[in-house]
Amino acid sequence: MMKCRVWSILAACVWGGVSVGSAWAESASLSIVSPQDGAVFEAADVPIETRFVKGPSGDHLHVYVDGAFYKSAKRESLTVWDLRDGEHLIELRAASREKDEKGVEHKELGINARVKVTVATKQAKRALSSKPVVR
């Protein structure tokens, strides 16, 4: 037998003693599925796969590269384009478009995920190998 009760705006159903809540009942969460921390890419474009549970207020991500804002994203799959050779810190921050009590939009929620990657393009490798070795 299935019994349903509504608390506030959120609904939860009880089926044989097991509670099943909607995705909106969960709080927002964010993790980077790939790449793994320390991954090396031979291309300047880095694909990123996330797991983003939007929750009641978070509805998009802010993407930062090396501490600078890069773009906003709504999808769990995204690409950071044209990174220079070297190590980069990519950080994702859950954000809300809703206005807060002060009228501020695009509020970051303090739910973050980060990964360090290294870009070592073939062009950079060729340039390094063509330089004479100083002894």
Asked if the structure places residue 55 within a domain, the reply is: yes
Q: Given CA atoms 32, 38, 39, 40 in this order, what sign does their dihedral have?
A: positive
Reply yes or no on whether the pLDDT at 135 is more than 50. Answer: no
pLDDT digits (tens, 9 = 90+) for 12-51: 333 333 333 334 345 788 999 999 999 999 999 999 999 9
Domain-located, residue 18: no
Number of domains in the chain: 1
Q: Output the domain CATH number for residue 53.
A: 2.60.40.10
Q: Is residue 108 part of a domain?
A: yes
Full domain range(s) for residue 117: 26-130
Does residue 21 form part of some domain?
A: no
Share of the chain above pLDDT 90, in %: 50
- Its pTM surpasses 0.75: no
Task: Tell whether 7 is covered by a domain.
Answer: no
Q: For 97-111, how does the pLDDT look when each residue is reduced to its tens digit (9 = 90+)?
A: 877 677 767 788 899
Assess contact for 24 and 10: CB atoms under 8 A.
yes
